[in-house]
Amino acid sequence: MNTTYEIAEKMSEEALRDIYRQMRLIRVFEERAGEQYMLGKIRGFLHLYIGQEAVAAGAISALQPQDYIATHYRDHGHALARGLDPKAVMAELFGKATGTSNGMGGSMHLFDASLNFAGGYAIVGAQMPIAVGLAFAATYKGDDSVVVCFLGDGALNEGEFHESMNLAAIWKLPLLFLCENNLYGMGTPVEDVFAKREIYQVAQAYDMPSRQVDGMDVLAVREATEAAIESMRAGQGPFFLEALTYRFRGHSIADPSEYRTRAEERRWQQEDPVTCYKDWLLNRKMATEDDVAAMDQEVESQVEEALQFAEDSPPPPLEALFRNVYADS
């Protein structure tokens, strides 16, 4: 990590430590979720966010309560960074009635309207038109909320990407398109399927400001997000931010990642965002070893509590199959 950040000078030590706590929570939660999947407690798909924690924690920590988030199917990290209850998130992964969507959505469809978390979407790019609608509503109402739309590099070839970018630019919407470029769309290297090497420059086609940021550096992401949000709240329209990051696990829990070399994986693991940020806090004396140990223990307990809650929660009742299918007459 960089040794100096303007953003760090404006934040309290407590706030800086809380960012570590958030990243650590995401990491431990995802590790336990992977274990539970292998035990058969979680069914369907499971896309872990391990390695990308700095993007969620950095970007979402810059938001205000009135702001909205729409994201993709690798959504656990975003949900936890936004403040969704880990117990409800884990229960949703277990398909239990106490989950964020009452066990009906599963891993790819976390949702919490009370926190303006407008969901994960399993269809690649499907969240982008939703984000445009949320940003249009904010403009129409005249409030100062902004929308962050997380997308992966795999969404760049979807029609929704170009339609959403174009409409957001034409209407000057307060919408941040945050591309988490983890170098692979499923098992395909991004350079094999997208002609533009510097992805962030694609925004030039829509006269939209853009930049690239180190997505393994949580404070760099926070700084870049704050700058983008400041311009959007000032009425300058949408912004495109590309965060260069890397998922440490496969595309999904069932993916052995045979398309990547072990040398590549080891190189990126040296930039582990959780470890690097912990070292930065310690070196800058923003936290002590005891502080870190206490936060780690707190997170371990929190995730264990979430697992127990999910295990003990009931499944949805049979009649729940008919809920949310037709409107009440």
Question: For the stretch 102-131, what's the b/e string if a residue is b when 16 or more beta carbons lie within 10 angstroms of its beta carbon?
Answer: bbbbbbbbbbbeebbbbbbbbebbbbbbbb
Distance CA 42, CA 107 (A): 9
Kindly state the helix (H) or strand (E) to which residue 18 belongs, with its residue range.
helix 13-38
Q: What is the pLDDT of residues 241-299, one digit of tens each?
A: 999 999 999 999 988 899 999 999 999 999 999 999 999 999 999 999 999 999 999 99
**Residue 197's pLDDT is what?**
86
The pLDDT, as a whole number, for residue 3 is 65
d(CA 257, CA 265): 10
Q: What is the C-alpha to C-alpha distance for residues 200 and 213, in angstroms, rounded to an integer?
A: 10
Q: What percentage of the chain exceeds 70 in pLDDT?
A: 99
| pLDDT-derived band at 325, boundaries 50, 70, 90 | confident
pLDDT at 8: 86
Q: Are 309 and 98 in contact (CB under 8 A)?
A: yes
Q: Is 175 exposed, middle or buried (0-12, 13-18, 19+ CB in 10 A)?
A: buried
Percent of the chain with pLDDT over 90: 89
Longest dimension (CA), the chain: 63
The residues, any chain, with a CB within 8 Å of residue 98's CB and separated by 6 or more, are 87, 88, 91, 309, 310, 313, 314
Task: Please give the domain boundaries of the chain with CATH numbers for all domains.
Answer: 32-310 (3.40.50.970)
Q: 303 pLDDT exceeds 70? A: yes
pLDDT band for 93, please (50, 70, 90 cuts).
very high
Q: Which residue has the tokens 């100096």?
A: 4
pLDDT tens column, 118-154: 999 999 999 999 999 999 999 999 999 999 999 999 9
What's the pLDDT at 4? 64
